[in-house]
Amino acid sequence: MKQCQSLITPVILCGGSGTRLWPLSRATFPKQFLQLEGEKSLFQQTLQRVHDNPLYDAPLVLTNQEHRFYVGEQARQIDVPLDTILLEPCSRNTAPAIGAAIAYNNSRKPDNLIHVLPSDHLIQDDEPYRAAILEAAQTARAGYLTTFGITPTYPATGYGYIKAGPKLEKAGHKVERFIEKPDEATAKTMVDEGGYFWNSGMFLLSPESFMQELGKFEPEMSSAILKAVKLAESDLDFVRLDEATFSMAPDISVDYAVFEKTERAALIPAPISWSDIGSWQSLWQSKGGDDAGNVVYGAATLNAADNNIVVSDGQHIALNGVSNLAVIATDDALLVSSLEQSEDIKKIVASLKESEATSPLTQEHKTVYRPWGGYTSILKGERFQVKKLFVKSGAQLSLQKHHHRAEHWVVVSGTAEVTIDDEVKILSENQSVYIPLGSVHRLKNPGKIQLEVVEVQSGSYLGEDDIVRFQDDFGR
Amino acid sequence: MKQCQSLITPVILCGGSGTRLWPLSRATFPKQFLQLEGEKSLFQQTLQRVHDNPLYDAPLVLTNQEHRFYVGEQARQIDVPLDTILLEPCSRNTAPAIGAAIAYNNSRKPDNLIHVLPSDHLIQDDEPYRAAILEAAQTARAGYLTTFGITPTYPATGYGYIKAGPKLEKAGHKVERFIEKPDEATAKTMVDEGGYFWNSGMFLLSPESFMQELGKFEPEMSSAILKAVKLAESDLDFVRLDEATFSMAPDISVDYAVFEKTERAALIPAPISWSDIGSWQSLWQSKGGDDAGNVVYGAATLNAADNNIVVSDGQHIALNGVSNLAVIATDDALLVSSLEQSEDIKKIVASLKESEATSPLTQEHKTVYRPWGGYTSILKGERFQVKKLFVKSGAQLSLQKHHHRAEHWVVVSGTAEVTIDDEVKILSENQSVYIPLGSVHRLKNPGKIQLEVVEVQSGSYLGEDDIVRFQDDFGR
């Protein structure tokens, strides 16, 4: 049942660099999209929290070009309708992103409050959580920019802290000050002293106050994002902020741009079960594990092994006589890390990025999802490569041609409609077709079940960018 | 320069179960054949030791049906001509195998001494080693069954021990007794006391004495193997012992059948650099490693990691904050084991063997070598699978047909001659052909460079055993 008061627009931040849960997360596939063995992704769990709560209006998701199809696809999987997928044309940190989302929302639903939610945090949707939201909504309605503070359970050095000031009339506290990620000694002092909270990165905002404060402290940014929203263009399911104006906004965080300066910051101490899943260790902690403390996704055999997290997307993993490890296997990369030091995998990712040979390992997976389905790279030679394509029922790839490669398609499951220049033919399981270099072609699944095609490419250059598109259902 | 005295026939034992260096070693590919990044395999190193030494005649290799093509191929790779590849028709432990090899040798070169050599030990071919061989040859010529004893460097429980008796006139000692693999306390006592040596499993034998003693202690075995040699059949490059008679030989070790009973056992204390590479730990020890004690084969990135052995045959391996591990990645299985407990991977292998789903992981690799080349399984679906075939210059597969599958072949490198029923055609790079279910077909590489073909199989049953052979160059 909807409440009589104004609703809350969830603004879900869905960017992310994909280094913390490497090798499962990649630049093109950050951790909020990970679906471990049929579990819902953190992004989907975030959507569900706001969908199952009558306080909320339909969500607005902020993401980028690279991730836009995952956003739509994962929302569809769990039947949560989105208000809008708002595309950042370039990366500009949280202040311009949140500002643009609020400006966009104000142009359509100016009475709604704004709940800014990271898409990659794990939160238990329980009574304390819901009570904190209600309190935060009260302070936001009173014109405050409200943050949620998590009671620290240990002297973490990976989070920013907030010091609570005097109590507010209805709920929460004024913020006394924000503290950036501290060193261990400072963190310990704060935890021992009390009155300090972890900055959860969640905010419940009065949109009017936010835009006023942004205009006051960052007039250039405010003007840039207002223009970027005004000039935004609809593109299929997406609204794309104007690049020329959005890119003028300074690249700074919302904490720095607004919260550390404003007098209107409020804090709701939130006794909620929260994790930012910032490392394999924190994922392991959030899962519990079996009697021996092992968390296992995928096929594994364990002998004398305890307190490990094991993830495999195919290979059989055997652990023998080991403890406190993250063992994460993907098609092309394998991580073996001590859980305690799992935050340091950012060093590994940084080092992989430095070399041309290993940089792709940080960028994308062998299986890549596309709005029509996707493909898995299964073999690469010098002048050939083999992929398995999977095409959803009713979907089709773009009408395209390649300058440097010919392709063989063998249908191994389902039915394909293949266009080659002026000819259209239907292929069923075990039939094949040859696409000569330079011919204009298209693959479509006219059937009711998923189409699977083994593609053998042959040519002197086999990059994904050798593609000339003539028509595309997905505006690419 | 050949010496005037009789030569020594090396009898190289090339069986092995392939569990100790799992997942690199498999039942069909035991550890003696492993070639780590272009290094010579232990089998090849064994061949080279006897090839580079004028004491020796050409080697006789004892192996089985499963491993026979690896033996031939690896000998060819390093240009060591073999006298004979002797095939055991069934597995009967070391006593019947060595007995048969000696009986076979006696039928052709009765004056040669016999040097029994495991194919999967690491030995440094240095002065002390060669001196030990010369001493052992002396005692063997005097009618002794000579063993090589390694001076223990720690109280190992994984080896048998030999207690030295009184000195012999020319070289070495009489054996006082053999001790089976001891417990830790017994091992410690023996090492502290001195006069005990590890049983290396290498023997230098007077063939006449050996056959006499075998006849005395195991008359049934002796009679069975003499018949099996008499009825042996030549099969291409191989001599196959007669199965009906060989299988009558009791399944016992040469230590138990002869050495523990004979009065003619002699021991040469051999100050040689020796390892049986019985675990990942011992392989790691034998390699040394870099400044941080890491031994790395394949692509890897290490951060704060020391004293590990890392092997990858494709995946990029990242280690973060870990020590004393074996991390071994293959296409289908991945081991992460503490080095100290690496002998326990036999428990993992035993557990994998128990289930039908995981048993293949102990049997063979995704890349399987055949006398004509081989193939790699790259993708399996329910009703299809994709393989990459590689065919050596001039080689051809058998003329064959399948009852349950059709095949698509796409040539991705080199030139193929394809026979389908009565038709023969030549395909070059980027051409393809369809092999209908039930048609009689053959693939040949008529060219000078390796032929590579991507094969997409489609059908209701895709096992390797759905093959009817009409003609085969390799007697299969």
Per-residue model confidence as pLDDT tens digits over B28-41:
899 999 998 879 99
Which member of A332, A335, A412 has the closest CB to residue B384?
A412
Residue A5: its pLDDT value, please?
67
Tell whether domain A367-471 is in CATH 3.40.190.10.
no
Task: Give the mean pLDDT of A311-325.
Answer: 96
User: Residue A15 pLDDT more than 90?
Assistant: no
Q: Which residues pair with A302 in a beta bridge?
A: A319
User: Residue B83 pLDDT more than 80?
Assistant: yes
The Cα–Cα gap between A453 and A397 comes to 13
The Cα–Cα gap between A402 and A39 comes to 38
Buried b (16+ CB within 10 A) or exposed e, A297-330: bbbbbbbbbbebbbbbbebbbbbbbbbbbbbbbb
Residue B2: its pLDDT value, please?
43
A450 and B CB contact within 8 Å: no
The Cα–Cα gap between B380 and B462 comes to 9
Mean residue pLDDT across chain A: 93
Question: Closest Cα partner for B348 from A322, A311, A107, A296?
Answer: A322
Task: Give the mean pLDDT of B404-431.
Answer: 95
In sequence order, which ranges of B237-304 are alpha helices (DSSP H)? Answer: 243-246, 254, 280-287
Q: Tens digit of pLDDT for each residue in B315-340? A: 999 999 999 999 999 989 999 999 99
Q: Which residues contact B212 (CB under 8 A, 6 or more apart)?
A: none
Q: Which two tokens stand for residue B260?
A: 């523990």
Contact B349, B280 (CB under 8 A): no
Q: Tens digit of pLDDT for each residue in B253-290? A: 999 999 999 999 999 998 888 998 989 999 999 998 99
> In terms of DSSP bridges, do strands A441-444 and A432-435 run parallel, antiparallel, or are they unpaired?
unpaired
The Cα–Cα gap between A198 and A148 comes to 8
Residue B273: its pLDDT value, please?
87
**DSSP single-letter state for residue A264:** -
Q: Tens digit of pLDDT for each residue in B85-101? A: 999 999 889 999 999 99
Question: Closest Cα partner for B229 from B110, B97, B114, B119?
Answer: B97
Q: Which residues of B touch A361 (CB under 8 A)?
A: 316
Looking at B48-195, which runs of residues are DSSP E strands?
A: 60-64, 84-88, 113-118, 122-123, 145-150, 161-167, 173-179
Residue B5: its pLDDT value, please?
67
- Three-state DSSP state, B180: coil
Task: Give the mean pLDDT of A70-87.
Answer: 94
Number of alpha helices (DSSP H) and beta strands (DSSP E) in chain B: 12, 30
Q: Tens digit of pLDDT for each residue in A347-397? A: 999 999 999 999 999 998 888 888 899 999 999 888 999 999 999 999 999
Task: Give the mean pLDDT of B172-183.
Answer: 94
Q: Tens digit of pLDDT for each residue in A140-182? A: 999 999 999 999 989 998 899 999 999 998 899 999 999 999 9
In terms of CA atoms, which chain A residue is nearest residue B452?
A381
User: Residue A1 pLDDT more than 60?
Assistant: no
User: Residue A88 pLDDT more than 50?
Assistant: yes
Q: Positive or negative, the Cα torsion across A392, A395, A401, A407?
A: positive
Residue B271: its pLDDT value, please?
87
User: Residue B236 pLDDT more than 90?
Assistant: no
Kindly report the backbone phi and psi dihedral angles of residue A205, in degrees, each rounded to the nearest multiple of 5, phi listed first.
-125, 145
Q: Cβ–Cβ of B341/A321 closer than 8 Å?
A: yes
Q: Cβ–Cβ of B303/A327 closer than 8 Å?
A: no
**Chain CA centroid to CA A120, Å:** 6
Buried b (16+ CB within 10 A) or exposed e, A240-263: bbbeebbbbbeebbbbbbbbbebe
User: Residue A91 pLDDT more than 80?
Assistant: yes
Residue B292: its pLDDT value, please?
97
Q: Tell me the pLDDT band of A267, cut-offs 50, 70 and 90.
A: very high
User: Which of A297, A302, A315 is the best residue to mutate to test the B interface, defined by the most B CB atoms within 10 Å of its own CB?
Assistant: A315
Q: Which two tokens stand for residue B406?
A: 């059709």
User: Residue B173 pLDDT more than 50?
Assistant: yes
Q: Measured between CA atoms, how close is B192 to chain A, in angstroms?
A: 30
Task: Please compute Rg for chain A using Cα positions.
Answer: 24
CATH for B8-275 is 3.90.550.10
Q: Cβ–Cβ of B320/A303 closer than 8 Å?
A: no
Q: Which residues of B touch A459 (CB under 8 A)?
A: 430
The Cα–Cα gap between A473 and B106 comes to 79
What ipTM goes with this model?
0.89
Mean residue pLDDT across chain B: 93
Q: Tens digit of pLDDT for each residue in B113-165? A: 999 999 999 999 999 999 999 999 999 999 999 999 999 989 998 899 999 99
User: Residue B168 pLDDT more than 90?
Assistant: yes
Task: Give the mean pLDDT of B154-179.
Answer: 93
The Cα–Cα gap between A205 and A327 comes to 40
Domain boundaries in chain B?
8-275, 288-347, 367-471
Q: Positive or negative, the Cα torsion across A43, A49, A51, A52?
A: positive
A312 and B CB contact within 8 Å: yes
Q: Which position has the higher pLDDT, A420 or A16? A: A420
In sequence order, which ranges of B79-154 are alpha helices (DSSP H)? Answer: 94-106, 127-141
Task: Give the mean pLDDT of A419-428.
Answer: 95
Q: Tens digit of pLDDT for each residue in B191-229? A: 999 999 999 999 999 999 999 999 999 999 999 999 999
Looking at B237-286, which runs of residues are DSSP E strands?
A: 238-240, 265-270, 274-275
